[in-house]
Amino acid sequence: MSRETTDIRQEQIKKAVLDIIADEGLQNISTRNLAKRIGLSEGAIFRHFPTKRDIIKGIMDDVANDLIGSLRNIVLKPEKAEDKLFKYLCQNVKYLKENRGITMLLFSEAAHLGDKELKEKLNQILYEQKQLIIKMVKDGISEGVWDKSVNAEDIAIIYMGIPITFNIEFVLNKNGLNADNFCRRMYTLILKILKN
């Protein structure tokens, strides 16, 4: 195998984890299988990550940066709350669709709850997402377009289930839900709760 820098190898390894999860399922992300998919020896994996756990940690950091980052951008832009909500939902669903392995990896880690640090990282990701949604809702209320008697946190909770359900349907039944359509339909429902 030709030599590559640690930076490049780390990206390859993290990508391989997500690809394997999406293609073969979670139980196949052994370091052996990982090395095989990249075309590298198993020892080389441990040249670029000290432990397997650190690979997972790296992926979680990517989610925190990429997904949360892009969602934050949407929320912070000066736009109408209704438009932001729609874009937010679509972006969220799109990201999960394009990184199918991620939801499974995240919630598997939650379910295994062996590792406090990973659990804390996941908690952080979910918390930040919730705060962004709460902010959007409150902005909409300030704009005067949404019912001020709704509890922003309740909206955040019911919202969080949407991308998760989408992902589960996607895993169980690959062509179960049309993403664009799905996005707009769920948006309509949420809006009905929010409207005056």
The residues of the shown chain that bind its own copies, judged by CB under 8 A, are 21, 25-28, 104, 107-108, 110-114, 119, 122-123, 126, 151, 154-155, 157-158, 160-162, 164-165, 168-169, 171-173, 177, 185-186, 188-189, 192-193
Nearer to its own copies, 40 or 88 (CB): 88
What's the closest the beta carbon of residue 53 comes to DNA, in angstroms?
6
Residue 17 CA to residue 37 CA, distance in Å, equals: 9
Angle made by CA atoms 133, 129, 100, in degrees to the nearest 5: 120
Nearer to its own copies, 40 or 190 (CB): 190
What's the closest the beta carbon of residue 15 comes to DNA, in angstroms?
15
Tokens linked to 56:
């997972």
Residue 121: C-alpha distances to residues 64, 107, 109, 117 (Å): 9, 12, 10, 6
Q: Using the structure block, give the residue that is written with the tokens 């295994």.
A: 112
Give me the residues that bind DNA (CB under 7 A), please: 1-6, 9, 28-33, 39-44, 46-48, 50-53
